[in-house]
Amino acid sequence: MADLFPTTVVGSWPRPSWLLAELKRKNRGEISYDEFSSVADEAVLLAVKYQEDAGIDIITDGEQRRDNFYSFVADKLDGLKLMTVAEVMDYVEDKSRYEQMLRALDVPAFAIKSPVAVGPIKKKRSIALDEMQFLRRHTRKQIKIPLPGPYMLTRASWIDPVSRYAYWDREELATEYVRLLREEITQLRDGGASFIQLDEPTLTEIVYGQASKQTFMCAAIFSKVDPKEELEFATELINRTVKGLSGVKLGVHVCRGNWSRKEESLLKGDYGPLIPYFQEMKVDQLVLEFATQRAGELSVFADVSSFKELGLGVVNPRTSEVENSEQIVSKVEEAIRYFDPEKIYLNPDCGFGTFAESPVNTSSTAFQKLEVMVKAAEKLRAKYA
Amino acid sequence: MAEATLNGLNLERLKEIVKEVASQPEKAEELNVWRARVRWLGGFRGRAYVRDHTFIIDEPSDLAGVDTAPNAVEYVLSALGGCLTVGFILNATKNNVKIDDLEVSLEGRIDNILTFLGLSDQGHPGYREIKAKLYVRSPADPKTIQDIWSKTLETSPVGNTLSRNVKIVPEVSVVD
């Protein structure tokens, strides 16, 4: 692998139609997870091929086995039940916030599902070790495994009062996720993963969600809490998850939603309010979207010294237009003003198929975007080597 | 042998009901008349009595209510949503179309709420427009779904009540 400007992806790849058909069958209970997974093997090979052909240095399995980046854990853990927003609304008092979200997203309450903690969380099968093991057998590239972060999981699955049957409070549930994720990260590292990315997209919603009509396409509704306390809670969970772990690169991914191609329906706001918390996070890399203008300017990092690595979002996964390599080079050179070139990785802003049934791009366009990203990295390496 | 069902409806029973209403004018007439009574509970609250059911009607706090229940215009929207839901399922079932999930999202815009509050004589305090969006998950093709939706709108009792001029016959009785 080249030393400078390694290229990678954030996670998901658009699923082929035949895989989506099998996913529906699995969700209807017509086939088992193992039966579905053996079909998904073929889709993973396609996702791998696209990434390898584009010349990506650190690849994922395209999250082909997952219905989305977090609710797939319902297949992996006992004690979680995939509940629709319609079901969740039967329990929560604050129904009007869910209604507000559904209207903002223009979706029905039956379409959005979240893994809700309804009993003690126990591992039914590994969270991502099966994904990693298959990928390890089929690529010589370095492997990145995205995992839903401990805050994201806690936030999505704690529904009061349903979750209280199993846990005293949200903190107790979070502690269970921290334990499970630590165990999983250790196994993934030992199995050969070189990069583990904790997905914590909703951190931006804590900052910008309450004043905005935009939201994330998940049942993880922002709660009426003090944003400062919530960000401290999230930071603490991330740090407890990664504490003492070494031998694998650990990253945190933050974005502003990736469920629609309508930019105006996604959150907007720079990273400024999150930087103090980023500085506290004991991870190696921050994987941040920056291709979209909604993410604000890189200059918010101007006065931040000795910062960690940056996984710089240089292509927008939601557009049909393919960026050109000069645009990407220029974005990276802007980042070089605030980050050491040796600490910059190139990646898309987010996945190309975060939600299985509503990918934000086609495989063909996604491939071209990766190709141009690799081309830009080559130009940068020639200049900065 | 188990009786055939579709969309949670017993198909034989549904057929029987349709046949019965079609063949018995008095039965149809019975279904032409619906009744409700609303009793004032103080403040802006009221309780509706409908057959063996009751429900509360209130106003939100920003309209001086205590927000213990939906208000009357919200019930109108809900009534339309309920009617379209029933109608869609009836028409789908009659056409042997399986429905996995269905929701109707409604939003009504009052022409001028100030007229209700006596602050304006411009426009009127009724709904000027109601948007009704159907979300449906079904194995049927989009054309079939669209046809069922059109039929549903065309035959909706509440939809027709709202879209046509319904004659309201007022009367008052002062009780000793």
Whole-number mean pLDDT of chain B?
A: 93
Instruction: Give the closest-approach CA distance of A127 to chain B in angstroms.
Output: 30
ipTM here: 0.75
Question: By a Cβ cutoff of 8 Å, what residues of chain A touch chain B?
Answer: 86, 102-103, 106-111
Instruction: Give the closest-approach CA distance of A220 to chain B in angstroms.
Output: 21
The distance between the two most distant Cα atoms of chain B, rounded to a whole number of Å, is 65
B86 falls within a domain: yes
- Determine, for residues B135 and A111 on separate chains, whether the beta-carbon distance falls below 8 Å: yes
| Domain shared by B50 and B90, yes or no | no
Tell me which chain A residues have a C-beta less than 8 angstroms from the C-beta of B101: 108, 110-111
Q: What is the pLDDT of residues A32-60, one digit of tens each?
A: 999 999 999 999 999 999 999 999 999 99
CA distances A309 to A179, A250, A336, A337, A344, Å, are 26, 10, 11, 14, 6
Instruction: Give the closest-approach CA distance of A89 to chain B in angstroms.
Output: 14
B48 falls within a domain: yes
CA distances A250 to A5, A73, A132, A196, A272, Å, are 17, 20, 16, 5, 22
B124 falls within a domain: yes
Nearest residue in chain B measured CA to CA from A99: B105
Domain boundaries, chain A: 17-384
- Residue with the bigger pLDDT between B153 and A213: it is B153
Q: Does the beta carbon of B105 lie under 8 angstroms from any beta carbon of chain A?
A: yes
Check residue B97 and give left, alpha or beta (phi > 0: left; psi -120 to 50: alpha). Answer: beta
Contact B110, B127 (CB under 8 A): yes
* pLDDT score of B127 more than 90: yes
Tell me which chain B residues have a C-beta less than 8 angstroms from the C-beta of A110: 101-103, 135, 137
How much of chain B is helix, strand and coil, in % rounded to 5?
40, 25, 35
Architecture of the A17-384 domain? Alpha-Beta Barrel (3.20)
Q: Grade residue A97 by pLDDT with cuts at 50, 70 and 90.
A: confident
The pLDDT value given to residue B1: 61
* pLDDT score of A223 more than 60: no
| Domain shared by B149 and B103, yes or no | yes
> Alpha-carbon distance A365 to A361, whole Å?
7
| Domain shared by B56 and B27, yes or no | no
Number of domains in chain B: 3
- Determine, for residues B105 and A111 on separate chains, whether the beta-carbon distance falls below 8 Å: no
Best of B100, B103, B106, B145 to mutate (most A CBs within 10 Å, chain A): B103
| Domain shared by B47 and B84, yes or no | no
| Domain shared by B53 and B112, yes or no | no
Q: Between A and B, how many CB-CB pairs are < 8 A? A: 19
| Domain shared by B111 and B121, yes or no | yes
Q: Does the beta carbon of B62 lie under 8 angstroms from any beta carbon of chain A?
A: no
* pLDDT score of A107 more than 90: no
* pLDDT score of A78 more than 70: yes
Tell me which chain B residues have a C-beta less than 8 angstroms from the C-beta of A85: none
Domain CATH for B98: 3.30.300.20
Q: Grade residue A268 by pLDDT with cuts at 50, 70 and 90.
A: confident
The pLDDT value given to residue A109: 86
| Domain shared by B75 and B152, yes or no | yes
| Domain shared by B84 and B154, yes or no | yes
Range 64-83 of B in CB contact (< 8 A) with A:
none
Planar angle of CA A187, A190, A192, nearest 5 degrees: 110
| Domain shared by B64 and B76, yes or no | no
B169 falls within a domain: no
Percent of chain A with pLDDT over 70: 95
Q: Which residues pair with B124 in a beta bridge?
A: none
- Residue with the bigger pLDDT between B38 and A96: it is B38
Best of A87, A93, A98, A110 to mutate (most B CBs within 10 Å, chain B): A110
Whole-number mean pLDDT of chain A?
A: 91
Give the domain range for residue B27: 1-31
